[in-house]
């Protein structure tokens, strides 16, 4: 059975992401594992103790487990009345001391999870994980797809998924993987290429035709379409697409920039994740063969 991992800090944003993750899991016949990483309280660190007292650790973990159980129960209650033909996903939870990014990576390997679903912003409390910063860290280090959910009510539908590409041949396998997510919803996949006014139209069309022919041969999914978006740069083009393109999810590949450029500008993915108002599915370049 597939298992989707959903990190949570019990904030509204994280709970909203958990709802969306469960919605996907029920349609994709997957289970859900809620995970919470807790840290040593600030006052314990300030006391310069050589070890965190065991009773303090047990109390914090107990509180986290109780909150996980409450969240699990809340999610299960909210799914009552869902269509009977949907898969009944098993929801469970685990809490551990440590960093959320390390915990996620370990559990992805343990469960062989095809996807991690998390909110774009968190609770902002010292004793809880900060999902805003952790989501960006995961984007950089993940070897698995990460679905980032904005802190707005997510629509309970998936009719169109846009995949932003620069026509890199490495994206073809990822579109094939994306088809396994779109197929249970019979959702359209809109392949989007953003260019400025300086592109060479004949040369561009040749690249598009070659790319789409390979996509068709690989993906075997009849709901794939193409759209060219002209914009002053990629960021503005993707902003326009997410706001006006009538898409329910945007997928893209995160290719980290060189260190200096990353400090100055960041990646398209990271900048978009700060303000996008639809779910953003981020693939690492090497995430080939993923089946949702």
Q: What is the pLDDT of residues 130-178, one digit of tens each?
A: 345 666 677 777 789 999 998 777 667 899 999 999 898 889 999 999 9
Q: What is the pLDDT of residue 128?
A: 36
Tell me 119's DSSP state: E
pTM of the complete model = 0.86
Structure tokens at 211: 């790319």
The domains found in the chain, sorted by start residue, are 2-149 (3.40.50.620), 160-283 (3.40.50.620)
- What is the average pLDDT score of the chain? 81
CA–CA gap between residue 63 and residue 57 (Å, rounded):
10
Average pLDDT, integer, range 10-36 = 92
Could you tell me which residues are beta bridge partners of residue 5?
Answer: 33, 116
Q: Among the residues of the chain, which ranges form H helices?
A: 12-28, 42-46, 54-78, 100-111, 131-141, 171-182, 201-219, 234-244, 259-264, 268-273
SS3 24: helix
Q: Determine the average pLDDT of the residues in 43-72.
A: 75
* 25-35 average pLDDT score: 94
End-to-end CA distance of the chain: 11
What integer pLDDT is reported at residue 207 of this predicted model?
Answer: 87
Strand order in the sheet with 30-38: 91-97, 30-38, 2-7, 116-119, 146-149, 280-283, 249-253, 160-164, 188-195, 224-230
- Confidence bin at 274 (pLDDT 50/70/90): low
pLDDT at 258: 44
């Amino acid at each position: 059975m597939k298992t989707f991992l959903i990190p949570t800090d019990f904030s509204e944003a994280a709970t909203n992401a958990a709802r969306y993750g469960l919605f996907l899991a029920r349609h994709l016949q997957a289970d859900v594992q809620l995970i919470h990483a807790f840290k040593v309280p600030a006052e314990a660190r300030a006391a310069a103790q050589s070890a965190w007292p065991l009773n303090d650790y047990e109390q914090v973990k107990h509180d986290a487990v109780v909150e996980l159980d409450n969240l699990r129960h809340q999610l299960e209650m909210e799914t009552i009345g869902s269509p009977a033909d949907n898969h009944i996903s098993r929801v469970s939870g685990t809490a551990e001391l440590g960093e959320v990014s390390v915990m996620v990576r370990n559990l992805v390997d343990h469960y062989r999870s095809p996807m991690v679903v998390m909110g774009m912003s968190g609770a902002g409390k010292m004793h809880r994980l900060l999902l805003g910063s952790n989501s960006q860290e995961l984007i950089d280090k993940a070897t698995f797809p990460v679905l980032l959910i904005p802190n707005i009510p997510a629509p309970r539908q998936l009719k169109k998924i846009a995949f932003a590409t620069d026509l890199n041949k490495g994206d073809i396998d990822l579109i094939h993987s994306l088809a396994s997510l779109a197929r249970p919803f019979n959702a359209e996949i809109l392949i989007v290429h953003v260019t400025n006014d300086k592109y060479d139209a004949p040369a561009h069309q040749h690249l598009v035709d070659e790319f789409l022919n390979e996509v068709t041969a690989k993906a075997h999914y009849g709901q794939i379409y193409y759209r060219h978006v002209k914009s002053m740069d990629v960021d503005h083009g993707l902003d326009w697409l997410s706001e006006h393109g009538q898409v329910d999810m945007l997928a893209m590949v995160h290719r980290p920039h060189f260190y200096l450029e990353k400090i100055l500008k960041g990646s398209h993915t990271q900048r978009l994740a700060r303000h996008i108002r639809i779910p953003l599915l981020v693939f690492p370049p090497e995430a080939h063969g993923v089946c949702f």
